[in-house]
Structure 1
Amino acid sequence: MKAEKDKKTGKWLIQYRYTDWQGKRRKSTKRGFATKREAEEWLRNFLITQKADFDMKFEDFWKMYYADMETRLREHTMRTKKYIVELKILPYFGNKRVNDITAADICQWQNELIKMGYSPTYLKTINNQLSAIFNYAIRYYDLKSNPCAKAGSMGKSKAEEMDFWTGEEFRKFIDSVMNKRLSYMAFMTLYWTGMRLGELLALNPKDVDLEKRTISITKSYQRLGKKDVITPPKTPKSKRVITVPEFLAADIKDYMDSLYDLQENDRLFPITKYYLEHECREELKKVA
């Protein structure tokens, strides 16, 4: 295992052997290094992660987990996983050593997320992603226990207003509404941000910052009688700024550009909760 010059590109590559998740020895090549030193440094770091020493930082183990799972899960599933881990998990646990993460740490992390006002189903999804990483460490690398299991879960599998999914179930559903632009963008935004339905329906163009890729949650929508009513969020702490993935920001921009004569105070989704709930039920019948 040594670095070599790639004759085609002029950059450095390194060939190496590793043990995959099934315990089989594999051979692979990593290319594109600017210098020999970069290639050798990458190999040293890779070999460290292969040992699965749980004194390693959580972020390093995440990279190892991601590299393995990327070959076995669908692209859409991995995109969901990567987005949640990088935005909601690594900022808290990334620099902690895997062995040092306790159930108490998990509880503190859960409390911080609960304060953000995310929907119960989204909280459940975030928690499941972290727990999956620890379960992987137990199954394949003999980590002794899962601190998430000791801490207990957070959120709910089913929402009070609507039910959302992860991975393959959501992909099938969202594909079924692809030709309905408003519904497609509403469900995409709900899924990828974790905001509540009332918060989505209250959004205005001024709440969206496309350059920073953020959405500000400052209000909620409900239909009372025959009137549209905009109210503050359920609690003061529900006011928050959500960072969205790049692909969603691009979709939102295209959607906003398609709305005729859109004004700053116009609702981006001029529909009711009933409309989306009905749309959800009807599309589910088609894909079930």
Structure 2
Amino acid sequence: MASFQKYQTQKGARWLFKEKINGKYSTRRGFKTKQEAKLACAKIVRKSQFLFDDKAMFKEVAEIWLNDYRKTGIKVSTLSHKEAQASFFSEKFKNEKISAITSEMIEDIFEEMKSEGYAYGTIKNYKKTISLIMKYALKKQFIYFNVVGDVRMPFFDEDVISKKEAIERKYLNLNELKEFLAVSEKTHTDEIHTLFLLISETGMRIGEALSLLESDLDIENNTIEIYKSLTRIAVEDFKLTTPKTTSSVRKVFVRQSLMDKLKKIMKKNEQIREKMTLKSDYKLLFFSKAINVGNPYLVGTINDKIEEVVAQTSIKKHVTSRTFRHTAVSMLAEAGVSLEAIKEMMGHSSSKITETIYLHVTDYTKKDTLLKLDALMKKIGQN
């Protein structure tokens, strides 16, 4: 097993390592950090055992990893996040060989994300993704050592103000939602605008919304049955699967005006089906009208459309399809709906995020209730 030692030189502290390679001990000196020494040691050891392709670019390896990851039958929502995060890192490391990436480079990206307003939990999820990519690269012999294990997360001040801001970044307030929907109505099709309305009002997961069949709508009673989700096998292939949990099977009520919009979407869908043969036999409520016509939209496509809308607003938050699920929780909480009823509508048996947003929003409504009570007491002379 390798040993690492710090020593002093005229130029400052340096590191060395000793390792037994092919029956003989080898010593290397002059490394500025222990991380550099560990990386060099790993390279020597693994070079003595395998033939590595250390010239591969990060983007190439990330794409290979994604192709294998898609074959695992992962849920569409999870896959969408991994695709977006892999694309994010591919852009950051677009000119880098994967073997040249260091822990410091990844830490710099995380610090940049923090400065741009990304929450601690979000950055942690990104770290999980790049760790998966690097583990895959190590297994496939593109790198000698997985540097992610030495990556330190940015420091977040856990005071009350930062916690408050972190919670409020997870959802759109009423003014932000109003602005978003006003822009989407002008810049996108009725179908996409209605999809945004649906997920913000009902809190559906995007995979649940994109897997809806027209037969799932009960037009007379203004309800929608949710009992499946969408799993993407490949860009052109998908399957409808069981939902995330048994509590995800549920029925949600929608406003009459929203149901009217959904009816218009169904009417347009029927006109499209009469004119052309669609790629999918499913009578999906929302489906692609351009590429692979009839197939469900890619979640990444929906998130791209969300970004297009946000770019034309004053909203400064990082908004994805999941943001609208949290937005629905905040609106229901503000409307006075109980936590248990919200969990049922969201398809949650329990959810820390749902509870956190609920408690945060209702803290303000409690203050409003107190003000109303104070006004009533003053009316009867109890100042």
TM range (shorter): 0.3 to 0.5
Question: What TM-score does the superposition give when structure 1 sets the normalisation length?
Answer: 0.45
Question: What TM-score does the superposition give when structure 2 sets the normalisation length?
Answer: 0.35
Which structure carries more relative contact order (alpha carbon 8 Å, separation 6+)? 2
Please tell me whether Structure 1 or Structure 2 has the larger radius of gyration of its CA atoms: 2
